Each structure stands twice: as C-alpha cells, then as structure tokens.
Amino acid sequence: MDKNKTFLIVGLGLLGGKYAQVLSQKGYRVTGITHSQSTLDYALEHAYICEGRNENFDNLVQNADYIIFGLYPTVLLEWVKQYGHLVRPGTLVTDVSGVKRGVVEPVQQMLPEGVEFIASHPMAGRETSGVAHSAEVNFAPANFIITPTEKNTPEAIEWCRTLARTLGFARISVLSPAEHDHMIGYVSQLCHAIAVSLMCASDNTELAKYTGDSFRDLTRIARINDKMWAELFLWNKDNLISEIDMFSDALATMRQKLVDDDREGLEKMFRLSTERRKAFDKK
C-alpha cells in the first residue's frame, strides 16, 4: 500500500482505534471521524490519527484514498446513506462488521460508481470497548475474514489481504457473506449466547471467590457489549437460532446419558470432543 495515500477510519471504537493505531505507527497517514469529542481527543493525543472531526467532515471523506468503517451494521448503513455520496471514485472501502448479510450488498449499491466496497471482518474483539482499550487488542493470533461478492475485483481482494497483513494478521481467509454469517453463528455468537446464559441462569456472584479456571474461562466473554451484541444477534438470528437448537440437542443428549447412568456414552462424547478440539490447537 502506498504511504502517500490517506486512510480514513469512520468510527474510532475498539477495532477502528486499533486500525488507526497500527497504521499510524507504520507510517501511514490516518484521519478519523467519530461522534464523540472525548474519543477524538484521545485518538489525537495518542497520535492514532493526524486529523479528525466529529462534524463538518466532508473534506476528510473526499480526501480519503481508503476508508475503513468501524461501525455497527445499522449505523454503517445510515452513514453510507447520508454521506456515501461524498466518497470519491477510486476509493477502496472496507469494514469491521461482525455480520455481512444485509450489510454488504446495500453498501455496495449505495456507494457512488467507481467506489469499491470489499467487506472484511477482523475477528479480534474483546470484552472491553472504546478507543481507550484499543491498545489491548492483538491482531497476531486472530483470524481475518474477507467476504467478497461478484461485484469485487481481484485487485480489491488483494488490497484487503495486504491491509490484513499490514495490520499484523497472519491467518487470512475468504468466505462469501452467507458462509461468513453461518460460520460466525457457531464459532462466535453461540459461544457468547452460552456464556451469557450461564451467567443469567442463576445469581452466582457469591461464587466468584471460590471458582476455578474452568468457570472463568468459559464465562470470560459474558462481560459483553450489550448494544453491539444485541444488534449482531438479531442481524444473524436465523443462523444463531439454528445453532442454539443444535447445541440444545447435544446438551439434551448428555442429560439423557446422565439419567440413564450411561458412563460409556458419556466417555464417547468426551473422546469426540477431545478429538475435535485438537484441530483448534494446531498452529
């Protein structure tokens, strides 16, 4: 990527802030747009961006060569609808959204002719939120998913790969928007649903001083950004409901083995889970 070109980050939250931090540290010119003055002040003070606005930002949009949307899906669509006409032809645009269906095609349709939106998802979120926690994010062990459509060019897909490598991602994959949302329903959203349900099943706060690593590990992601995750769950609810049903069936199977005193059946499930878990330990 050409360091004479300008990145614009729209939405300086946890991931948008991290993008700005890394790109600025690597010598790229980075500007930012955010609704919060305190967020803007933080990003400027820590040199995440060289220039930023929370209003009257037309010139930042018009002068950007690359734009990265660090916005929730609903806000992303609203922003593009209101300000997308400002993006000049030749600009490459991507995002960090955790869902793709219902986002990618509308954004591609709304942006001006000659502007290419190539969607992507850095799977590096944390329980914390906001630009002040951006430095805590570690892209190195995380997955980066590119979700092109037939409207995307090979050049834009390669640019997105280069962006991911520049940010520090080592594992980069390509999925369709539908494949992405199906995958994310299982490996991310279902996990959050289980963690939240476990914490909400009973008032177990008195156990905090007694619990072991297993409970802490399993419920780490239960400390959750309520607004973002409610939106992500609802945008992908068909996939998530299907995964919840599948998980419920597996849990019911285990319950029945307990009822039946079926030790052999339990051991078989444990062996299967152990074998399948090995795939996630491969480097």
Residue-wise pLDDT tens for the chain (283 aa)? 788 999 999 999 999 999 999 999 999 999 999 999 999 999 999 999 999 999 999 999 999 999 999 999 999 999 999 999 999 999 999 999 999 999 999 999 999 999 999 999 999 877 777 899 989 999 999 999 999 999 999 999 999 999 999 999 999 999 999 999 999 999 999 999 999 999 998 887 777 777 778 888 888 889 888 999 999 999 999 999 999 999 999 999 999 999 999 999 999 999 999 999 988 886 5
Cβ atoms of 142 and 150 closer than 8 Å: no
- Domains recognised in the chain with CATH numbers: 6-175 (3.40.50.720), 180-281 (1.10.3660.10)
The whole-number pLDDT of residue 126 equals 76
SS3 content of the chain, % helix, strand, coil (to 5): 55, 15, 30
List the structure tokens of 138: 């570690």
Is this structure's pTM higher than 0.85?
Answer: yes
Residues 9, 14, 15, 20: is their CA dihedral positive or negative?
Answer: positive
Which pLDDT belongs to residue 18?
A: 96
**According to the model, what pLDDT value does residue 280 have?**
80
Q: What's the Cα-to-Cα distance from 223 to each of 51, 71, 231, 249, 270, rounded to whole Å?
A: 33, 20, 16, 26, 28
* Rounded Cα distance, 255 and 159, in Å: 49
pLDDT at 283: 56
Q: Where are the alpha helices (DSSP H) in 186-225?
A: 190-200, 213-219
**Where are the extended beta strands (E) located within the chain?**
6-10, 29-33, 51-53, 66-69, 92-95, 116-117, 119-123, 143-147, 171-174
